[in-house]
Structure 1
């Protein structure tokens, strides 16, 4: 229990990982979508996703050479759900989080996601729920 809490707290102590968690609340995302929104390299994003997965906050769904990431079902339950709720309350008015939500709804400037297996109508979403709760 203590080890898991420590992993969770470490995983959520990074600004980039908090941004990723907020983006994933809208639904599963391909790595290319996260890269396009954050403006970071694929290897950097993958490292952050790995840390979140090892903490049990997200899970992956591999589709050939592509991987989609989503929040785990446990993110809305128990002490983990309460912790994420507190974090979410603290981020709701953050300028960077809001900017990420806008970028998530818009096609990326570069064609980073051209070959992504996620359908275009889902990749460039108009989902207003991005700025709301984690789960």
Structure 2
């Protein structure tokens, strides 16, 4: 009599369990990417640094062009990106725009990485 060998079930070779609910959603990832993109530019980092160092807590856009050696439209673009990312606040005073750090902006930005 010819007996067939007993076959054992194949071991589970799956790589790892699914990520689950803790994974970052598309909307939240897009918001975080805006902040990281804003921080990834050296001129924007310099702008944040200059505004943070301002004794009054806010700085006129007219005072930010010369230190960066950039034109006003370019500086305004960088400031807009920082405002859209939630890192700066913009206040119109007459014909000039003044910028200040958004409340706890840098702390919130640091937490974005810490809480991935």
TM-score by length of 2: 0.65
Correspondence 1:5 to 2:32: yes
Residues in 2 aligned to 1:45 and 1:54: alpha-carbon distance in whole angstroms: 14
Paired residue for 2:93, among 30, 53, 63?
A: 63
Aligned pair in 2 of structure 1 residues 76, 10: CA closer, same or farther (>3 Å)?
A: closer
Q: Which runs of 5+ in 2 are unaligned?
A: 1-27
Q: 1:27-69 CA deviation, whole Å, 9 max, x = no partner? A: 2110111112111100000000000001000011101211100
Show the 5 A alignment for 1:16-27. Answer: 16-26=43-53, 27=57
Residues in 2 aligned to 1:37 and 1:22: alpha-carbon distance in whole angstroms: 12
Aligned pair in 2 of structure 1 residues 23, 82: CA closer, same or farther (>3 Å)?
A: farther
Secondary structure at 1:67's aligned position in 2?
strand
Q: Which runs of 5+ in 1 are unaligned?
A: 85-135
Q: 1:7-41 CA deviation, whole Å, 9 max, x = no partner? A: 00000110100100111112211011111211110
Q: Point out the structure with max Rg over C-alpha.
A: 2
TM-score by length of 1: 0.56
Residues 28 and 70 of structure 1 are in contact (CA less than 8 Å); yes or no, is this contact kept in structure 2? yes
1 or 2, which has the higher helix percentage?
1
Q: CA RMSD in A?
A: 1.8
Secondary structure at 2:64's aligned position in 1?
helix
Considering Cα pairs closer than 8 Å and 6+ residues apart, tell me whether 1 or 2 has the greater RCO: 1
Cα displacement (A) at 1:74 = 3.0
